[in-house]
Amino acid sequence: METQNFEEKLLKMTKPEVNQLKHQDMLADAITNAKDKSVVSWWWLSIPLFIIAMLTMKSVYMPHTTLISNIKELKSQQPVTSVIFFLIVPFCLIIFNAFSILKIWSLTGDHKDSNSVRAIWVNGLMIFFSIIILIFYAL
């Protein structure tokens, strides 16, 4: 009986209500802008990786050619394109992804869930592929 009365008191008791929150819109914008841009990074990375895949295929199917000779040929025939996609893009992606990892790390603090760990892993993978592309260019 006493518990029932207490239950009724809890239900009837007035509770604080939230009517207006001025900071709401600015917070929504800040959260929307905090999303990582890994899809854009993958698009840029896919171009030099695709070229490397093509050059690898060429060295396999064309006699007397190697991947290194094909990369050297590309560098001499397409100097601007090769510098952009094999030097500038991977270099920028390494910096961008390193900052992205730092940002996710600070955003998640001590509460790293599976999504933030996956985002850090994807960024790390992009840094790895960017380094591979730089190594191919240096060959």
Binding site for other proteins (CB under 8 A): 2-3, 6-7, 9-11, 13-18, 20-35, 106-107, 109-111, 113, 115-116
d(CA 1, CA 78): 87
Question: C-beta of 25: minimal distance to other proteins in Å?
Answer: 7
Cβ closest to other proteins, residue 27 vs residue 53: 27
Select 60 or 107, whichever has its Cβ closest to other proteins: 107
Residue 19 CB, nearest distance to other proteins (Å)? Answer: 8
The first and second tokens of residue 102, run together, are: 């730092």
CB 104 within 8 A of CB 119: yes
- CB 103, min distance to other proteins, A: 9
* Token pair in block for residue 48: 């030099």
Q: Distance of CA 7 to CAs 2, 4, 15, 16, Å?
A: 9, 5, 15, 18
Our CB check for other proteins shows the closer of 33 and 76 to be: 33
Q: Give whichever of 76 and 106 is closer to other proteins, judged by the CB atom.
A: 106
| Residue that has been written with the tokens 């996609």 in this structure | 85
Min separation Cβ 124 and other proteins, Å: 18
Q: What share of the chain is helix, strand, coil (3-state, %, to 5)?
A: 80, 0, 20
